[in-house]
């Protein structure tokens, strides 16, 4: 399953040169992951309240290929690349008109909310 959304670069997203500040892509990718899970009918608030599980970013790898600037329309894509018993690994891209600007591989770790130690993902959670 893949989630896609568009984002128009606003002034707040840019640095003094009008180029999207590199860390803002992490925010775009966060939105993509959240919306992909929502599309899969996974409500993170309910996962926390009912299962006692929260997710934390464990690792991010970003490759910056080309800049986006003020008023560009970006397409952000997100899909699950891999799962392990305690992790979800997402593959994400930011594109402008089909041109790849940034790619990222983001790993989330499932944590027990009571002690913040890694915990197994419940069977069927990602069946979406």
Give the three-state DSSP class for 7: strand
* Active-site residue flag, 15: yes
Per the residue annotation, which of 13, 15, 63, 72 is the catalytic one? 15
Sign of CA dihedral 91, 95, 98, 99: negative
Give the three-state DSSP class for 114: coil
φ and ψ of 12, to 5 deg: -60, -25
Cβ neighbours of 28 (radius 10 Å): 21
φ and ψ of 59, to 5 deg: -160, 140
Q: Which residues are catalytic?
A: 15
């Amino acid at each position: 399953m893949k989630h896609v959304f568009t984002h128009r670069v606003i002034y707040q997203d840019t640095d003094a040169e009008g180029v999207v500040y590199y860390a803002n892509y992490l925010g775009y990718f966060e939105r993509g992951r959240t919306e992909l899970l929502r599309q899969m009918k996974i409500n993170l608030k309910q996962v926390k309240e009912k299962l006692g599980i929260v997710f934390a970013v464990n690792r991010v790898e970003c490759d910056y290929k080309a800049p986006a600037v003020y008023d560009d329309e970006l397409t952000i894509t997100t899909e699950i690349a891999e799962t392990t018993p305690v992790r979800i690994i997402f593959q994400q891209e930011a594109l402008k008109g089909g041109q790849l600007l940034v790619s990222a591989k983001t790993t989330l770790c499932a944590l027990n909310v009571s002690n913040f130690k890694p915990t197994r993902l419940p069977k069927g959670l990602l069946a979406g």
